[in-house]
Amino acid sequence: MQWKALYVASRAEKKVQQRLTELGLNAYVPLKKERKQWSDRKKIVISPLINGYVFVQVNEKMRDEVFKASGVIQYVRWNGADAVVRDKEIEVLKDIEMKGYHTEAGPIDKFETGSRAIINHGQFKGLTGIIERSAGKEIYTINLESIGYSVRINLPAEVLKKTNS
C-alpha cells in the first residue's frame, strides 16, 4: 500500500485522522508542540506540522473509502494523478515529530542561499534540499517533492554536503 496525501477541512486534521482510523485505514498527521502565551497564561499547544494535510496508506481498491470520513476534501494531485508520498518522507515527518529535531549553528560561508545540499549524517541522511539563511543560522529546507511541500529543520552545517544538481 502507498502513502497518499489528503486535503482536509481547515483545523480538522486530528479529527479526520481519527475518523479514517475508525474506518480501518492507516492515517497519519505529523504534529508539533508549541508554547503559546496569552496575557494570563502559557500553554503547550499540539498542532499539525502541515496544516490542511492528512497522510493515509491505501491501495487502489480502498481509494474512495477515505471520502466516508467527514472533513476529507480531496486527494492531493501531482502530474494528473494522486500524489504518492514516499515511505522515507513519512519516516522523516515521524522523526521530526518524535524527536522535536532542532539544532542551531552559525552561518558557514561555503553554503549560499539557494544552493542545493544533501544531508550526509543522522536521521535525515540522503535527503536533499535547499539552503536558506535566517537570523544568522543555517536552516535546511527539505522538499517533500511528491506533494510539493517543504519542511524547515535547523541542522548543523557539518552534516551537509553541497550537490551539483
Residues 66, 105, single domain; the answer is no
- Matching residue, cell 474512495: 64
Residues 72, 9, single domain; the answer is yes
Q: Which three cell numbers stand for residue 13?
A: 486534521
CATH code, domain carrying 79? 3.30.70.940
Residue 91 covered by a domain: no
Q: How far is CA 95 from the centre of its chain?
A: 10
Residues 21, 70, single domain; the answer is yes
Q: What is the dihedral of CA 131, 134, 135, 136, to 10 degrees?
A: 10
Yes or no: say if 23 and 94 are a contact pair by the CB < 8 Å rule. Answer: no
Residue 90 covered by a domain: no
Over the stretch 76-95, which tens digit does the pLDDT of each residue have?
Answer: 998 889 999 999 989 888 88
Provide the domain limits for residue 139: 98-165
Over the stretch 104-163, which tens digit does the pLDDT of each residue have?
Answer: 223 333 567 777 787 777 777 777 777 776 545 566 666 666 667 777 777 766 677 777
Residue 6 covered by a domain: yes
The residues facing 128 across adjacent strands are 118
Number of domains within the chain: 2
Residue 93 covered by a domain: no
Contacts for 15 with CB less than 8 Å, ≥ 6 apart: 70, 71
Lowest mean pLDDT segment, chosen from 54-58, 63-67, 100-104: 100-104
